[in-house]
Structure 1
Amino acid sequence: MKTSHEHYMLRCLELAHNGLREAMPNPSVGAILVYNDRIIGEGHTSPFGGPHGEVNCINSVAEADRHLIPLSTLYVSLEPCSHYGKTPPCCDLIIHEQIQNIIIGTVDPNEKVAGNGIKKLQEAGKNVTVGVLEAECREFNRRFFTFHEKQRPYIILKWAESADGFLSPKHKSEQSPVWITNAYSRQLVHKWRSEEMAILAGTQTILDDNPQLDVRTWTGTNPVRIVLDRTGKINDSYFVKNHKIKTIVLTEKSNLPNLDTLVYETVPFDENLPRTIAAVLYRHNLQSVIIEGGGKTLQTFIDAGLWDEARVFRGKAVFTEGTPVPVFKATVQHRETILEDELIIYRNYGERNTI
């Protein structure tokens, strides 16, 4: 009995998961070559600038099986590219290897591809099938699709709240975070940071907590730090200005000197600020951002309808009074417990979720 196309496409997505963060701002693509229900080659997208999934897949085929490549079916989770970028077009390699049957998960939204890869393969006489597990393939590369279809980054809101509904207590004794969650939840947050291209915090969060906004308890890439500092209250003594991680400061002040690790963007702090922030990140080619507060910043994005996920921890701490949690309505996608903490992940499927 032959294995289904869906089975092989799921394997493509498994492979693609291995290269998701390192491939950004490229999508991570999984590819496999199948001959008579036997996988003879598989691969995923290399770190940015390296070979794409199709190339790694074809290159992985053992010498003894290379004569089977033209007789095999190529499964790929995203449309093969048809243009020169950091690497040559994958379509050219597929045509060169005389692969006749290509099964594609979904069309590439990048205007440089956008169906041109499929057209090029068809014009070369290939049998092309598109749309196998399309929804799953789009969901997997949702950051990439949001970036190209909505011209903005994929926006993740994150906060921790007390059992009685506060982000932080009214009074605190020192300039550091008041932990609501346990160490395992906090480490998970660092893992999340390593998966996104940028992390954003508002002025008051920096002044109150002096956060580092890095991945120090996880192994991975530090996201670019995005800091809101309308009037220049954040001085060089704060971690976000230590030049160890690229940081973009959004401010109303002008003519500030830019360095490789510290960039100033002059923007108006008006009612359109969330969309302005999204536009700045889009211009810097940052496909995703995790927004870690505080309350005013989170609520501003919620009120603008400009977010895709909210990841909310609820701990056992009770503050009685303090900074209230953001107010919003959304669909619960996932719920779990991490020791005594509860994690709820929401998705925003509203029509206002545009820029």
Structure 2
Amino acid sequence: MAPVAAAAPQALPDAPLEAAMRRAFALAANGPATGVNPRVGCVLLRADGTLLAEGWHRGAGTPHAEVDALRNLVAQHGPDAARGATAVVTLEPCNHTGRTGPCAQALIDAGVARVVYAVADPGRHSSGGAKTLRAADIDVRGGLLEADGTAFLGDWLVAARLGRPFVTVKWAASLDGRAAASDGTSQWITGTPARLDVHRRRAAADAILVGTGTVLADDPALTARDAAGELLPSQPIPVVVGRRATPDTAAVRRHPRDAHFYATDDLAAVLADLAARGIRRVFIEGGPTLASAFVAAGLVDEYLVYLAPTLLGGPRVALGDIGVETITGQRRLAIDHLEQLGDDVLIVARPRPLSPISPSSSSTRISKGA
């Protein structure tokens, strides 16, 4: 087939660009939701807005979305087919060489006329693609459907900006805020639908993290299972944090994935090491001591609170000391959504921006008992 003729630069109207961006989001969703790399989709358009080719990123070490789309284009239309085209990408094209080369340079070499992206790349090493493209006289537009892109890339954006995994803390509690009865028993506060939802969310995480106190008290398997008790195809890496030893017979040592053990109470150091290992999303499912330590340290990006319509009373609260000494220091949350699961209610919330907290309440270490 003959190459597509290059067209003089001419801005496309928003309607075909937005349609292409939504298609790019749909393509991006085909990529892996876990791991260090973002899910990215790319659509290449002719000067009149019709489709040329498309692609997406399939995981670490594979071609990025822009390169995948360009390769598909060349296979269909020949080596010069991208000249004068518009690339619509969910994330600003990268500007660095890792396992693959920089996408910004690939687009320049292909001869595209313009690039439209939804979200700017916040990465320390990968950002700057837009600047490189503009320096090559390519028309660049950022921020198209940015809110949609930010929501789609939410956990990866947090991890990229903060240099640590996205942290979700989960707990189940009675309506009066108790995570267990006075004797310590807690199975089961919530019903089956809520527990299955927890397992589904475990499977969507890269790692599941507990303290040694939970391991010694409950001996959890830390696996993700279906309603029949069978292992789900995707399993989070088990992570145990704390200075006490984990017994050789502990269920976590029989997990289908190798467990990571950290004999420390420095949570920031643990998260930094997990990030270096390519872990993007961490699911915290320890007891109140560990959850409180993460909250107090300001290391929580998402809260999953499962509330059961029951009352327990007693001292076993879902959270302990989080460094709030007076009402003005309360940690306000924004509720993302509510969901009824059988008789229980799931509240998904995120932290609002915090005012500076005092050194005494900002420790990243676990208090005794973890």
Alignment of 1:47-86 (within 5 A): 47-61=59-73, 69-86=82-99
1:131 to 143, 149, 152: 143
Give, in angstroms, the shift of residue 72 of structure 1: 3.1
With the length of structure 2 as denominator, give the TM-score of the two structures.
0.79
Alignment of 1:320-335 (within 5 A): 320-321=313-314, 323-326=316-319, 329-335=332-338
CA offset digits 1:156-212 (Å, max 9, x no partner):
111111233211223367xxx612333332222222222222111122222222212
SS of alignment partner, residue 14 of structure 1: helix
Identify the residue that residue 109 of structure 2 maps to in structure 1.
Answer: 96
Q: Is the aligned partner of 1:154 residue 2:157? A: no
Identify the residue that residue 236 of structure 1 maps to in structure 2.
Answer: 248
Which stretch shows the higher mean deviation, 322-331 or 99-108? 322-331
Identity of aligned residues (%): 29
CA 1:2/1:318 → structure 2, altered by over 3 Å: closer, same or farther?
closer
2:36 to 25, 32, 37: 25
**Greater Rg, structure 1 or structure 2?**
2
Give, in angstroms, the shift of residue 219 of structure 1: 4.0
Q: Is the aligned partner of 1:113 residue 2:122? A: no
1:339 to 338, 342, 346: 342
Q: Distance in 1 between matches of 2:276 and 2:60?
A: 18
Give, in angstroms, the shift of residue 119 of structure 1: 2.6
Give, in angstroms, the shift of residue 293 of structure 1: 2.1
With the length of structure 1 as denominator, give the TM-score of the two structures.
0.82
Please say if residues 193 and 341 of structure 2, whose CA atoms lie closer than 8 Å, have aligned partners that are also in contact. Answer: yes
**AA partner of residue 205 (structure 1):** T
CA offset digits 1:51-80 (Å, max 9, x no partner):
211123334449666675434321101111
Identify the residue that residue 10 of structure 2 maps to in structure 1.
Answer: none
Q: Distance in 2 between matches of 1:148 and 1:62?
A: 32
SS of alignment partner, residue 190 of structure 1: helix
**AA partner of residue 44 (structure 2):** L
**AA partner of residue 237 (structure 1):** T
Q: Distance in 2 between matches of 1:60 and 1:72?
A: 14
Alignment of 1:1-355 (within 5 A): 3=15, 5-22=17-34, 24-35=35-46, 36-61=48-73, 69-115=82-128, 117-171=129-183, 178-217=187-226, 219-232=232-245, 234-242=246-254, 244-251=256-263, 267=264, 269=265, 273-321=266-314, 323-326=316-319, 329-351=332-354
SS of alignment partner, residue 156 of structure 1: strand
**AA partner of residue 133 (structure 1):** L
Q: Distance in 1 between matches of 2:210 and 2:113?
A: 50
Gaps of 5+ in 2: 1-12, 321-330, 365-370
Identify the residue that residue 254 of structure 1 maps to in structure 2.
Answer: none
SS of alignment partner, residue 169 of structure 1: coil
Please say if residues 30 and 58 of structure 2, whose CA atoms lie closer than 8 Å, have aligned partners that are also in contact. Answer: no
Q: Distance in 2 between matches of 1:38 and 1:168?
A: 59
CA 1:4/1:180 → structure 2, altered by over 3 Å: closer, same or farther?
farther
Please say if residues 21 and 145 of structure 2, whose CA atoms lie closer than 8 Å, have aligned partners that are also in contact. Answer: yes
Gaps of 5+ in 1: 252-266
Give, in angstroms, the shift of residue 223 of structure 1: 1.8
Identify the residue that residue 263 of structure 1 maps to in structure 2.
Answer: none
Please say if residues 236 and 242 of structure 1, whose CA atoms lie closer than 8 Å, have aligned partners that are also in contact. Answer: no
